[in-house]
Amino acid sequence: MTEAMPSPLVLGTMMFGTTIDETTSYALLDRFVERGGVWLDTADCYAFWASENGHGGVSERVLGRWLADRPGVREKVRIATKVGAEPLEPGSWPARRMGLSPGAVRTAFAGSLDRLGVDRVDLLWLHQEDRSVPIEETVGALDGLPVDRFGVSNHPAWLVERGRAHARTIGARPFDALQLNATYLRPRPGTLPPGVAHRFGVLSDEQADYAAEHGMDVWAYTPLLSGAYDNPDKDIAEVYDHPGNTARLAVLDEVAKEAGATRGQVVLAWMLSRGLRPMLGGSKLHQLDAAFDGVALELSADQVQRLDDVDRADWADPYAQGWARQ
């Protein structure tokens, strides 16, 4: 059997072991690897809001059992996990969470290694900003951990730059990845889409420009609006209801028809053309297969240009300045 080519798609495992049972989780993981998937994304806090005890760790434990049950699979996948958002007590989030103090980072990371059953991870994310701790202290705590790469999720660009600057000063590895909410549609200014609980959680033009200028990887969560692009039983959230998106949806429909693909598949292909790595959080095998087909879809230069230019001028678009160089 010919081995599948590595795919840029990321499998988000947030609900594994809670709303997605272990049998289904294993099936999704197996299919992901079968189709060339490499990156698995989890967090120490997943999914505290759906767990029996109000704490996270369930997703990491499922991944750990799957890795143990599949000898050799660890060499085929890369694991990304996050620290900082686990509630201190059930029901205490967001007021009381582990945060990003040096002690909290080391304790949380040790717990993740134990649950995953590994001795290192490929990428460690700071899950959300913690203004109570200087970023320099957090960066110092990261240095020396058995991690290949570091990234930040739900942080403003200026704080990312401060952390990167300090890492360079102490000879540590700087953050080289951002994880934020992004999709083809854009929310109205001043609003947050469903599922985004952080004021800096939606990819902005400034964050996009910063990532482009510094050659940073950008991971996009909830790229398919939880299925609303194509599922007639799901409404696109009200925060996306504005004239700019009316025009975007019209062009999206045109390109989907031309390509013989779904809206969501075109969105995934467009995101890759912009240098974004989409993260899938689906719970069904057919959703996973459709997403793989989407990232394999090749849009023409004209189709990409039409999707890009529908509601904005080139001078306002950080993508046009070379984000897709990555």
Q: Which residues are catalytic?
A: 46
* Cβ pair 220, 39 in contact under 8 A: no
- Cα gap 86→98, rounded to integer Å: 6
- Cα gap 323→326, rounded to integer Å: 7
- Cα gap 82→149, rounded to integer Å: 12
* Cβ pair 12, 281 in contact under 8 A: yes
Write out 86-126 in H/E/C secondary structure. CECCCCCCCCCECCCCHHHHHHHHHHHHHHHCCCCEEEEEE
- Cα gap 245→55, rounded to integer Å: 38
The CB-side HSE value for 185 (13 A sphere, CA atoms) comes to: 27
